[in-house]
Structure 1
Amino acid sequence: MALDGLTAAEVAERVAAGRSNDVPVVAARSIRDIVRSNVFTRFNAVIGTLAVLMLVIGPPQDALFGLVIVVNTGIGIVQEVRAKRTLERLAIVGESRPRVRRDGQVVEVVPRELVLDDLVELGAGDEIVVDDGLVAADALEVDESLLTGESDAVHKVVGEQVLSGSFVVAGRGVYRATRVGREAYAAQLAEEASRFTLTASELRRGVDAILRIITYLMVPAAVLIVISQLTIDDEPTRDALRGTVAALVPMVPEGLVLLTSLAFAVGVVRLGRRQCLVQELPAIEGLARVDVVCTDKTGTLTENGMRLAELRVCNGHDEADAVLTAMAGADPRPNASMLAIAEAYPPGADVPAAARVMPFSSARKWSGVGFDSTAAAGDWVLGAPDVLLDAADPARVAAEELGAQGLRVLLLGRAAGAVDGPDGPGSIEAAALVVLEQRIRPEAGPALRYFESQDVALKVVSGDNAVSVGAVAAALELDGADHPMDARRLPADPEAFAEAVESTSVFGRVTPTQKREMVGALHSRGHTVAMTGDGVNDVLALKDADIGVAMGSGSAASRAVAQIVLLDNSFATLPHVVAEGRRVIGNIERVANLFLTKTVYSVLLAIVIGVMGIPFPFLPRHLTLVGSLTIGIPAFFLALAPNAERARPGFVRRVLRLAIPAGIIAGVCSVGTYLMVREMDSATDEQHSTAAVLALFVVSVWVLIVVARPLAWWKLLVVAGACLSFLVCLLVPWLQGFWALYPDHAGATTAALAVGAVGCVAVEVSARVQGRAGRSPSRPSIRSRREDHAGTA
């Protein structure tokens, strides 16, 4: 096959024969799956069955709790469909676009448009999207760590196979697609990466654990209440069934699981509006737990583009500008540094051909080109002065002085040997210092201030010179920027390494492997780490971090392994991402307190009433009213509230620590009120139930106040609205009949309010005691440890 690729006719023939890479990728669940998963749930089955039973025995208002299924299921379907469509749009924007040779031209296509036998060009940072065989290779190095776990780059030559899921570290090449569609491993990777799933997380594991506990409690409680209600003397069967349903319905926290899914889905949609692609939903929760953000410098804190500020000739090498011109013309895939050089020294039409080439790699930190003729004759290297020169070399000293000013300095040096020789280029003589200016992103400073205000530690981890990185960090007023560390001087001992990483803010000359080790060191100290990056050298660390954040303009490999992609390339988006994660996780925990308090008092009521063998004090509509005003409606507003508190481990323990005592107090108060007013001969059965409802409502409102703290004006408005709505139902005559509430017995109403007030005091005391007990001695922050470390030094 000619190296000019397939013709248009050959492409059309392969597409017609089904030999293309057009594999349907499930970016989200189908509409049918979304509807089915939201409608056919265990909780909907339980609540729906009870609602149908109440519709049969009547009156219809006792089946109002069934509307919760309709409302919650409808919201769930709408939000998930919106999230699905947003994810599908963003996935299309963020996908890689391989370059394919067709009809002698190089064109960009989307992966699904590749066909069998297509010739695809490769360059540094490109992802290999189908399985293939190399037909051309020039110093090609491929990282297969995503497939094998080995981080070392593998040198590839013509005839060898490269697999989808790997990516190019250095060099260039051309491969022929030999396995496309479902036969290629890339199809499986793409489908898995973009699927809209709710995978395991601490939050969801905690919710599942709580629901298992509730299930175990519901079975004996349900059996007990059914037997007791059906065996009460003089109790009509219809009323006994109503009491049974009223006892069982509130045990099921039907909104908790759905609300958890909704919170994740809404978070994805909100971030999507900020041009942020969330590839894995648990990333929303992980963001809430982040306490360390490791960020690259180039492309993240600084703009990708640079300009040549100065060329300092060394050792009389007046041909330096001619060499740079030739090197710029000989590089078919220039990086940002070479683009800046090419802008200052544009190559003409008579660019000399390179006889020897050694592409740049982050491990070597230099590239090399050899010319056999013209003014640029010889072997030349371009790279880091502190790697290529001895410490005492005047050019290296001058480079470090320039780097301290925040400038990027590269060395152009003449090599004694061939740049692609087996023993390397040999000794290097400085020919010129290429001084480049990096432009700091205007949004970087405010973003750093945000993280500092939220007690999130920032660490700048770069492959550039440590002094230069420190200068950029200092310009951004990053705490600790005045003590940058050269990563080559990091201790080998794991414990000492972890201490150095934790106590230092700025690192230079960091290799890809060291970035990964730094993430591991921070993990060993109990930190939750987010890593940002845009290059191939960031991929290993992005994989190992709790949350990997890639820039949309970065390499395809970095986007592929990151959980979050900032498609607008703006570091200023990251604070919004972290804030959204905290809002989601914090609000779910708040709402879980409300749902589980209701479950606890419902189980307690069923057990106590069942043991005592007395009529259940509530009708289903009573608990529907109390639950809607103190849980359902407030939960909707609380779930949308701002919440900047970083999430902590121990979700189940914290929720149960509040919900169990609050639920017990609410249950005891309502049962106690009911038993108390039953002794009043002048009160009717309806007034007995009304008193119990009133006491339960008063205590539940105070639980809502405790959960909603700190109280803002809108939260007070929600509480006031709940109280006002209940008073309207209690005092308006036609609503009294609808809800079966009769507060006209002064003694019963007074007793209910008194018991409710006592319950409020008990809830407040319990919350304060549990709050103090739940506070563990806080771990010293990274900032304080860094200050201690500096003081010791």
Structure 2
Amino acid sequence: MATVAPDTLSPPDPGLTAAQVAERVAAGEVNAVENVTSRPLIEIIKTNVFTRFNGLLGMLMVMVMLTGRFLDGIFGVAALINSIFGIAQELTAKRKLDSLAVLNAPTIHVVRDGVTESIPTGDVVKGDVVELRSGDQVPADGTVIGDQGLEIDESNLTGESDPMPKAVGDEVASGTVVVAGRGWFRADVVGAATQANRLSAQARKFTRAHSDVQHSINILLRWLTWIVIVAIPVVFFNQWRADGENLAQWREIIVRAAAALVGLIPEGLVLLTTLAFVTATIRLSRRKALVQELPAVEGLARVDVICLDKTGTLTEGEIAYDRLEPVRPDLVAVAERALGALAHGPNPNGTTKALAAAFTSPDWRMTGEIPFNSARKWSAASYADHGTWVLGAPDVLIAHCEPSGAGGLDVAARVRELADTGDRVVLLARADELPDAAGPSGLTAYALVVLTEQVRPDAAATLAYFKEQGVTVKVISGDNPDTVAAVVRRLDVDPGTPVDARTLPTDDPEKLRQIVEDTTVFGRVTPDQKQAIVKSLQEQGHVVAMTGDGVNDVLALKDADIGIAMGNAAPATKAVAQIVLLDGRFSNMPAILAEGRRVIANVERVANLFVTKNVMSAVIIVATTVVGLSFPFLPRQLTLLSTFAIGIPAMILALAPNAQRYQPGFLKRVLALAIPSGIAAGAVSFLAYSDAVSFGDMDPLERSVSALVALLVTFFALLLALARPYAVWKLALVGAMVACVSLAFVTPIGNQLFQIRVTTESILDGLIFGVVGVIVVEIAYRWSQRLRREQPPPPQPGAGTAP
């Protein structure tokens, strides 16, 4: 074990001068790496503009423009406006997220001009003298030049879980984490060349968590791409056959063919899906939640198990001294002085900080020290003329203590009693000499120190919310399982039988899965076991969220479906999380979960509108091809539909509140409503058009009006169905859209803009068929809702796990 003399607390090197720092910055020898909390501008533009469907829309717009019928080409302008709007919205989110990332960027201490200062890790330059403290993530690769019991966890690079002691001359690597002691190193390799940045180049770039919505939409887009490819020659041939006897009709052929093809393109669906995700990130940022991957918002809606650490999540994370329970009354005075000396040592941790507030320093001179780390679970220090003292976890130290003798406190029994109360207990013991690498031995117990953890005031209500929403809670902690269970019990949750993770059958995956399924509280969990518990739940079909704040949570956070880091988390923990709770408020979790559910439910709503339009267009293309009629609509007439019955309502509904719980099967439900509704819309508009043709005395525009009325009535019925449950603002929205469409029928400018020629016969003809469409849509909607109700719920953990 490394020992530390108290007279080596100053930096071993004055560090770089300001001029040297400026030279290295100018030379680009800085530690800054690309900010990856959001996509770069060029990718945002490419994603929103350069898509295969926008390319097809652009081609059709150019063809229509060449006919001189410019107003029929406004569908292309609308697509461009949609793309611009999407870019603007995502840029707004990018600026917000990037600013939050800067404000909450990890910092490190460096020595410059002999002065220690705190700077963002990205501002470290080559040659800097960097100070390392417990909990810091090493920001660069370099060589140790000063050591005070420095121990580093290199598991994320080497896979070795045991902390490695570091002495002067040893190398340290970026991305590793200080778990004990203090030290200084010189940054030899910075920026993208460091080990951590090379290894994390792929993991830290803008990535997308698995998204059921986006996966389903991508499937739809692939189908629609092939449908459009097949439809292009069919549509142009049919239009030529219907209107091509006179070559002067070439303009009509192109315009109506374009209208048919535009209806097959879901130009707004991808945009509104992205917009829903982006808007959710902005809303969550107002709650101090930084979303580092957009689809993580949707992933929250699918979570059915959430794994929580106790400290920092259910409890405040700060501990306070409560009382001293000496082995014998005559040991109180010396125990208090020893605690004061340990509490005011050079390497404080959470326990000693709490003790420092209660005990004053006796000014003992330290001659050697072994700093605390979580692997050992104890610390020790030697003092001239006052012996060696050890402070640590009772379950680790008791086995090395001599019996207390007659009349003394039964330390082991008392520790068991205190564990049931949820209090944290550490044991103060005296040793003959500073322990070596084999650990302490020959200890004499002096006192139990009782510390209390403050339960978060919002924790009970948050756990109750999870239970109400069908989300099962697993509490996974490195503390004593009985202590963890006691805390959970204080939150009005039945902890069941807590499990000591040291007894988990790691060599029997099937037995491990069963235990994980049936257990609520796990204690003494190592980082590898946290990861194994998460994987076990995933293997059983659960969507798992993991919260944490310590380095020991990193592996589990990275493997969870959604990793959530607390605001005070170590830099390494924040780096792998998809969501960071910047203010560390556990009470924000219900709002975050609700935001995910709002997104997925609203995207499903708007997807129904867009896919129904695609199905409708396909039905009309097939019907008109079979009977030899031209396509009923002009592009500008379908723009009226796309704008007021689909686009604007979809945009507003995508951003609306929605508390509907997530159910798997997004694509199946969308198609269950969109296919029958699309068939109904296509059929009634085609029948209205063909009926108008049979009258013989209607001109082409009057026939189109008949079909357009039937189509609009059917789509507004679908919009009303999707707006359920009704609210005043939803009814007002539909009413406003109907009013806008009505203006196109009753005003001269609307008639001219959308090429509408109104006659009593055409309106009545369209209304009659539209009523049929309304009936079919209502039946389809009720059937789809019944399908949702009959759908089996997501897999739930065993009965023993409910919070």
Same fold, TM-score > 0.5, yes or no: yes
The alpha-carbon distance between structure 1 residues 495 and 711, as it changes in their structure 2 partners (threshold 3 A), is: farther
Q: Which residue of 2 aligns with 1:575?
A: 590
- Partner Cα distance (1:649, 1:8) in 2: 58
Q: Which residue of 2 aligns with 1:246?
A: 259
Q: Which residue of 2 aligns with 1:414?
A: 430
**What is the deviation of 1:224?**
0.8
Is the 2:337–2:361 Cα contact (8 Å) retained in structure 1? no
**What is the deviation of 1:627?**
1.8
The alpha-carbon distance between structure 1 residues 17 and 692, as it changes in their structure 2 partners (threshold 3 A), is: closer
State TM-score, norm by structure 1.
Answer: 0.91
Q: Which residue of 1 aligns with 2:397?
A: 388
The alpha-carbon distance between structure 1 residues 22 and 423, as it changes in their structure 2 partners (threshold 3 A), is: closer
Alignment of 1:627-706 (within 5 A): 627-706=642-721
Is the 2:688–2:707 Cα contact (8 Å) retained in structure 1? yes
Is the 2:347–2:371 Cα contact (8 Å) retained in structure 1? no
Letter in 2 for 1:590: R
The alpha-carbon distance between structure 1 residues 17 and 67, as it changes in their structure 2 partners (threshold 3 A), is: closer
Letter in 2 for 1:209: I
Is the 1:250–1:599 Cα contact (8 Å) retained in structure 2? yes
The alpha-carbon distance between structure 1 residues 786 and 84, as it changes in their structure 2 partners (threshold 3 A), is: closer
The alpha-carbon distance between structure 1 residues 656 and 261, as it changes in their structure 2 partners (threshold 3 A), is: same
Letter in 2 for 1:250: G
Is the 1:474–1:482 Cα contact (8 Å) retained in structure 2? no
Q: Which residue of 2 aligns with 1:107?
A: 117
Letter in 1 for 2:393: A
The counterpart of 1:296, out of the listed 288, 297, 309, is 309
Is the 2:534–2:544 Cα contact (8 Å) retained in structure 1? yes
Is the 1:417–1:424 Cα contact (8 Å) retained in structure 2? no
Q: Which residue of 1 aligns with 2:773?
A: 759
- Partner Cα distance (1:437, 1:28) in 2: 41
**What is the deviation of 1:582?**
1.8
Q: Which residue of 1 aligns with 2:512?
A: 497
**What is the deviation of 1:482?**
5.7
The alpha-carbon distance between structure 1 residues 496 and 732, as it changes in their structure 2 partners (threshold 3 A), is: same
Pick which of 338-347 and 150-159 moved more: 150-159
Is the 1:91–1:194 Cα contact (8 Å) retained in structure 2? no
Letter in 1 for 2:771: A
**What is the deviation of 1:177?**
0.8
Letter in 2 for 1:387: V
- Partner Cα distance (1:23, 1:778) in 2: 43
The alpha-carbon distance between structure 1 residues 148 and 714, as it changes in their structure 2 partners (threshold 3 A), is: farther
2:286 paired with 1:277: no
Q: Which residue of 2 aligns with 1:370?
A: 381
Is the 2:38–2:293 Cα contact (8 Å) retained in structure 1? no
Look up the SS of the partner of 2:366 in the other structure: coil
Is the 1:125–1:557 Cα contact (8 Å) retained in structure 2? no
**What is the deviation of 1:632?**
0.4
Is the 2:305–2:542 Cα contact (8 Å) retained in structure 1? yes
Look up the SS of the partner of 1:254 in the other structure: coil
Is the 1:193–1:279 Cα contact (8 Å) retained in structure 2? no
- Partner Cα distance (2:327, 2:340) in 1: 17
2:509 paired with 1:510: no
The alpha-carbon distance between structure 1 residues 730 and 15, as it changes in their structure 2 partners (threshold 3 A), is: closer
Instruction: Kindly provide the CA deviation profile for residues 702-738 of structure 1, in whole angstroms up to 9, marking residues without a partner as x.
Output: 2223333333332222223333333333334543343
- Partner Cα distance (2:711, 2:744) in 1: 15
Look up the SS of the partner of 1:644 in the other structure: coil
- Partner Cα distance (1:602, 1:514) in 2: 54
Q: Which residue of 1 aligns with 2:104?
A: 94
2:368 paired with 1:355: yes
Look up the SS of the partner of 2:106 in the other structure: coil
2:623 paired with 1:608: yes
Is the 2:127–2:188 Cα contact (8 Å) retained in structure 1? yes
2:496 paired with 1:486: no
Q: Could you say what the CA RMSD is over the residues aligned between the two structures, in angstroms?
A: 2.8
Pick which of 99-108 and 544-553 moved more: 99-108
Pick which of 556-565 and 646-655 moved more: 646-655
2:65 paired with 1:49: no
Look up the SS of the partner of 1:107 in the other structure: strand
- Partner Cα distance (2:626, 2:367) in 1: 92
The alpha-carbon distance between structure 1 residues 602 and 150, as it changes in their structure 2 partners (threshold 3 A), is: farther
**What is the deviation of 1:785?**
5.1
**What is the deviation of 1:313?**
0.8
Alignment of 1:298-377 (within 5 A): 298-315=311-328, 316-318=330-332, 319-330=334-345, 332-347=346-361, 350-361=363-374, 363-364=375-376, 366-375=377-386, 377=387
Q: Which residue of 2 aligns with 1:598?
A: 613
The alpha-carbon distance between structure 1 residues 58 and 462, as it changes in their structure 2 partners (threshold 3 A), is: same
Letter in 1 for 2:737: A
- Partner Cα distance (1:76, 1:779) in 2: 33
Gaps of 5+ in 2: 1-10, 404-408
Is the 1:224–1:611 Cα contact (8 Å) retained in structure 2? no
Q: Which residue of 2 aligns with 1:713?
A: 728
Is the 1:264–1:281 Cα contact (8 Å) retained in structure 2? yes
2:269 paired with 1:268: no
Q: Which residue of 1 aligns with 2:138?
A: 128
**What is the deviation of 1:254?**
0.9
- Partner Cα distance (1:98, 1:159) in 2: 21
**What is the deviation of 1:635?**
0.4
Pick which of 614-623 and 387-396 moved more: 387-396
The alpha-carbon distance between structure 1 residues 423 and 147, as it changes in their structure 2 partners (threshold 3 A), is: closer
The alpha-carbon distance between structure 1 residues 230 and 779, as it changes in their structure 2 partners (threshold 3 A), is: closer
Look up the SS of the partner of 2:545 in the other structure: strand
State TM-score, norm by structure 2.
Answer: 0.90
Letter in 1 for 2:331: H
The alpha-carbon distance between structure 1 residues 12 and 786, as it changes in their structure 2 partners (threshold 3 A), is: closer
Letter in 2 for 1:110: P
Letter in 2 for 1:702: A
The alpha-carbon distance between structure 1 residues 767 and 427, as it changes in their structure 2 partners (threshold 3 A), is: farther
Is the 1:457–1:783 Cα contact (8 Å) retained in structure 2? no
- Partner Cα distance (2:504, 2:748) in 1: 78
Alignment of 1:108-187 (within 5 A): 108-187=118-197
Q: Which residue of 2 aligns with 1:555?
A: 570
- Partner Cα distance (1:776, 1:36) in 2: 38
Pick which of 643-652 and 114-123 moved more: 643-652
Letter in 1 for 2:187: A
**What is the deviation of 1:146?**
3.0
2:463 paired with 1:452: no
Letter in 1 for 2:721: V
Instruction: Kindly provide the CA deviation profile for residues 4-47 of structure 1, in whole angstroms up to 9, marking residues without a partner as x.
Output: 43344443443344433345546544545544543333322222
Q: Which residue of 1 aligns with 2:77?
A: 67
Look up the SS of the partner of 1:645 in the other structure: coil
Is the 1:50–1:245 Cα contact (8 Å) retained in structure 2? yes
Is the 2:632–2:704 Cα contact (8 Å) retained in structure 1? yes
**What is the deviation of 1:239?**
1.7
Pick which of 121-130 and 750-759 moved more: 750-759
**What is the deviation of 1:595?**
0.9
Q: Which residue of 1 aligns with 2:542?
A: 527
Is the 2:12–2:146 Cα contact (8 Å) retained in structure 1? no
Is the 2:238–2:629 Cα contact (8 Å) retained in structure 1? yes
- Partner Cα distance (1:44, 1:400) in 2: 68
- Partner Cα distance (2:752, 2:646) in 1: 23
Q: Percent identity at matched positions?
A: 44
- Partner Cα distance (2:477, 2:731) in 1: 48
